[in-house]
Amino acid sequence: MSASAVPAEDPGRQPEPGLRADAERNRDRILAAARRLYATEGLGVSMASVAREAGVGKATLARRFATREALVTAVFSDRMDAYAAAVTEALADPDPWHGFAGYLRAVCAMQAADRGFADVLTMTFPAAKALEARRTEAYDGFVELIDRAKATGRLRDDFTPEDLVILLMANAGVVAATGDDAPDTWRRLVGHMLRSYAAPDAPVPPLADAPAPTALYRAMIRLSRVR
């Protein structure tokens, strides 16, 4: 059987009764390796690199996760749950503008904590049905949150759901560029963006401190070397 014919793994499914203990250990090793690599290097990591990091062969990886989408789904299913839960929490805030601002900060913090998840939030995986279902759930909740915040007069009328995508793309870039040398830079970006989204009378949080010039310079040098 070819690797492409192996059925995709359901990350929420319990191990089969007959699953050998070593096979289950291999699966756990693969997931742990993928989490480490994705968190530090992003989703550009190859399946071969994941296999090497896990200490298993490519065939073993393919038996457990036939496609990149299946592996990404298994690695990030809990984070997508947290992403969707953040919208629910924001909608429960009695102050929709406060909930809106808190949601943006929470999601951008998730990106800053895991570069792989930063990529997940700016990409689509049509074959990963469970992952995309959670993304859709979060999106629908965010649309409702936008409407509520606008109704208070504190969120600009011209803000759209697409502006969140733009913010997440921008934040992913900032996290990738400054995460090693100035890891809190994303906070200042989010502060500036919240000020741009706010209506004239809306309360806005104070800006985080700007990164030190030397730290930002190191980040620029590192980025130029990567490119």
Token couple for 150: 């606008």
**Across all residues in the chain, what is the average pLDDT?**
88
pLDDT at 24 over 80: yes
pLDDT of residue 227: 62
Amino acid at 36: R
Residue 82 pLDDT exceeds 70: yes
Q: How large is the average pLDDT for residues 151-179? A: 94
* pLDDT at residue number 1: 40
Please, which residues bridge with residue 198 across strands? 155
Which pLDDT belongs to residue 3? 40
Digit-coded pLDDT (tens) for 105-157:
999 999 999 988 988 888 888 878 888 888 899 999 999 999 999 999 999 99
Chain segment 27-66, per-residue pLDDT in tens:
999 999 999 999 988 888 999 999 999 999 999 999 999 9
pTM of the model: 0.80
Single-letter residue type at 201: D
Whether the per-residue pLDDT at 7 is higher than 70: the answer is no
Q: Give the whole-angstrom CA distance, residue 83 versus residue 166.
A: 17
Contact predicate 131/82, CB 8 Å: no
The structural domains of the chain, ordered by start, are 3-69 (1.10.10), 76-226 (1.10.357)
Segment 207-224 shows an average pLDDT of 91
Q: Is 10 left (phi over 0), alpha (psi -120 to 50) or beta?
A: beta
Do 136 and 130 touch, CB atoms closer than 8 A?
no
Q: Specify the pLDDT at position 5.
A: 40
